[in-house]
Structure 1
Amino acid sequence: MAEQNAVNSDNHSEVSGVSIIIRHKVRLEYRARYEEWLTRIISAAAKFPGHNGVHILRPLPDKEEFEISVRFACEALAYNWLQSMERKALLEQISSLFQGEEQLEIYNGIDFWFTQPSVQTKVATRWKQWLITTAIIWPLTMLIPVLLKLVYKYLSLDIYWVIQQGIAVSIIVALVVYIIMPRVVKVVASWLFSG
């Protein structure tokens, strides 16, 4: 199956933090089979050097497009996975279930949050990226530490302040990267990508 690659870089340089965004339109009657395949390909990707996690946005019950975000430590390691025989073999097993071809994009850093899916070369201006990121992280930095202090007190845990901060930051970053940011960007997309 042919792949459509929209790569935001002209070379495979060592760039810290790379996201591969993969979109598959799967026929509704094959969704269960696709989910089983998805488990296998995620497990295969996780064994590759530099793999830093995966996030799946599943479609609504009556929709067809799955969006998978796979993180790698750098661009070279991301391409190592993309061009591997394992990935190609797994794609051959499932490609007949797709409506159309696989859509594949690669983004460095956090740019993938701020890139309009339908216009692959259009990235939000930096001040809008800053504003959205601040608006999301600011309340979390006030809320999460307070909630954690209540948990520590309830469990009678005496944890060093530095460790408490590390736990709070880890939770905030996970919420932003995996849950909040992808959804907020979709809601404000018309403003974010205008002008």
Structure 2
Amino acid sequence: MSSAVSSDLPAASPGSDASTESVSLVVRHRVRAGAQAAYEGWLAETMRVAAGFPGHQGVHVVRPAAGGVEYIIVVRFATCDQLTRWYESAERARLIAAAQPYLARGEQVSFGAGIDYLFPPEHGAAGEPPMKSPAWKQWLITTSVIWPLTMVVPWAFGPVFKALPALGVYGVQHGILAAVIVALVVWVIMPRYTQLVHDWLFRKE
């Protein structure tokens, strides 16, 4: 079962330093009925192997809701070259071959730089390029997530800063609040939010 690759690896722009460009590999897997437990074991092994490659910056998995079958795995690397080494490695080829009995179709893969992985492109029909959601919709969704968090998170941490004055020092508390908000956006809210508004994101106006 072959992979369905939606876009080429991102290339560094002229004059840019590719070594500072964080890139992400977004993989979609549709798991066969009854194979989820075996797939979870395969996924844990894949995450362990990927973590051993240079430049690895973490893996985020969006698991399907109850009754669902589609997994989204986001693997981040510090540079495009380091991601390419993982993507084209013999280790990954072996793992993908081992996953085939658990998959209902070939994996779908896309690549992005920076925070592009928060808005993975939609795979078009055969022979058509992948569809990217409009920038204004990405801005609106991101704002709608960060806006309430900038009100709720500082309020929630108020008692902590009062109990531990050292954490409430100007600058320190801002760093803590920023780290918490970014973590909530990247790993908790946005992957599920984009799935919820998927149809609107890619609706042709």
Cα RMSD (Å):
2.2
- Give the corresponding residue for 1:103: 108
Distance (whole Å) between structure 2 residues aligned to residue 70 and residue 37 of structure 1? 15
Distance (whole Å) between structure 2 residues aligned to residue 101 and residue 12 of structure 1? 28
> For structure 1, which runs of at least 5 residues remain unmatched after alignment?
none
Which amino acid is 1:41 matched to?
T
Divergent runs of 4+, >6 A: none
Residues 124 and 193, structure 1, Cα contact 8 Å, conserved in 2: yes
- Give the corresponding residue for 2:59: 54
1:3 to partner: Cα distance:
2.0
1:21 to partner: Cα distance:
1.0
Distance (whole Å) between structure 2 residues aligned to residue 129 and residue 20 of structure 1? 19
Identify the match of residue 68 of structure 2 among 52, 58, 63: 63
> For structure 2, which runs of at least 5 residues remain unmatched after alignment?
none
- Give the corresponding residue for 1:29: 34
Distance (whole Å) between structure 2 residues aligned to residue 178 and residue 52 of structure 1? 13
Distance (whole Å) between structure 2 residues aligned to residue 187 and residue 62 of structure 1? 16
Q: Determine if the alignment matches structure 1 residue 174 to structure 2 residue 183.
A: yes
1:8 to partner: Cα distance:
5.0
Distance (whole Å) between structure 2 residues aligned to residue 146 and residue 63 of structure 1? 35
Deviates more, 1:55-64 or 1:115-124: 115-124
Deviates more, 1:103-112 or 1:167-176: 103-112
Residues 8 and 107, structure 1, Cα contact 8 Å, conserved in 2: no
Identify the match of residue 183 of structure 1 among 156, 178, 192: 192
Instruction: Report the secondary structure of 1:7's partner residue.
Output: coil
TM-score by length of 2: 0.83
Identify the match of residue 49 of structure 2 among 41, 44, 47: 44
- Give the corresponding residue for 2:166: 158
TM-score by length of 1: 0.87
- Give the corresponding residue for 2:6: 6
1:10 to partner: Cα distance:
6.2
Deviates more, 1:5-14 or 1:80-89: 5-14
Q: Determine if the alignment matches structure 1 residue 148 to structure 2 residue 157.
A: yes
Instruction: Report the secondary structure of 2:112's partner residue.
Output: strand
Residue correspondences, number: 194
State the percentage of identical aligned residues.
39
Identify the match of residue 91 of structure 1 among 77, 96, 104: 96
